[in-house]
Amino acid sequence: MNRQKICSQIKNCHKCELAISRNNAICPEGNPKGRFLIVAQAPGEQEDKADSMFVGPSGTVLRQIITEHRLNTKNYYWTNLLKCNLPHNRKPKQREIDACSEFLLQEIEEVKPEIIVPLGFYASRFIFSQFHLDFPVEKAEFYKNFGELQWTGKFKVLPLAHPASILHRPELKENISEKYAILKTLETYCCWHRSCPMKKFTEKGIIDPSWRQLYCLGNWQNCVRFQMESRGQPHPDWMLPDGTLMEYLKQC
């Protein structure tokens, strides 16, 4: 990925009124070949001044979460939906999202991440709309359901609350941190993914590939098969990762 080229485009962008009020348009950071692409909403006031991502209060919260869960940030590429600061931390306008999102789509095409992690309502809504995933209309519904892994057919999407949410509502910290812990699980595949019957069934086109992507190569700690295997409990090959028994798989 030509990071210098896309950064130059971002720095010289004047497609919306945010170019007038900004100090700096913020370029992406991290590993352009990373498995994870983190999409925040927009740089804050301190990021705008420092010309760097996550240096303000929400960045402090994020680093605490990273340390708590021992996340390997070498696997991460960091960017924003909007590259310029939103004055007074107001909500983004649709025309601003429309103008700026072409950079994000270009980044997705170049990075080809395995997992996209949008942070917060607006970044998540954009990613879900682009890849035809169902998304709650209201913010309140999003915060009830964030942390659920999705499969687009090309990559996985894990919507998470923005770390700034903890600054506004400290009582959410435990729940939000628990959802971020899924990232640690996603850093590796299930230890049995090569020998799991789901691999054979997927390769033969017998089951939808989303089963393997969301469990064997996804949040494998939620897999009933994994949980039973870990406890030494017998389970049939025709059991799906959610525990459903599919009798027709006996013949496959």
Do 84 and 130 share a domain, yes or no?
yes
Do 96 and 138 share a domain, yes or no?
yes
- Continuous segment of H or E residues that includes residue 134: none
Confidence tier at 80 by pLDDT (50, 70, 90):
very high
Do 82 and 143 share a domain, yes or no?
yes
Chain segment 20-31, per-residue pLDDT in tens: 999 999 999 999
Query: Is the separation of the CB atoms in 31 and 37 below 8 Å?
Result: no
As a whole number of angstroms, the distance between CA 79 and CA 29 comes to 7
Do 42 and 165 share a domain, yes or no?
yes
Provide φ and ψ at 178, rounded to 5°.
Answer: -60, -40
What pLDDT score does 133 carry? 86
Do 59 and 168 share a domain, yes or no?
yes
Cα Rg for the chain, rounded, in angstroms?
A: 20
Burial group, residue 199, by CB count within 10 angstroms (0-12, 13-18, 19+): middle
What pLDDT score does 1 carry? 57
Is the pTM above the cut of 0.95? Answer: no
Confidence tier at 144 by pLDDT (50, 70, 90):
confident
Confidence tier at 135 by pLDDT (50, 70, 90):
confident
Q: How many domains does the chain have?
A: 2
Do 143 and 19 share a domain, yes or no?
yes
pLDDT exceeds cutoff 70 at 137: no
Confidence tier at 139 by pLDDT (50, 70, 90):
confident
User: Which structural domain range is residue 209 located in?
Assistant: 197-251
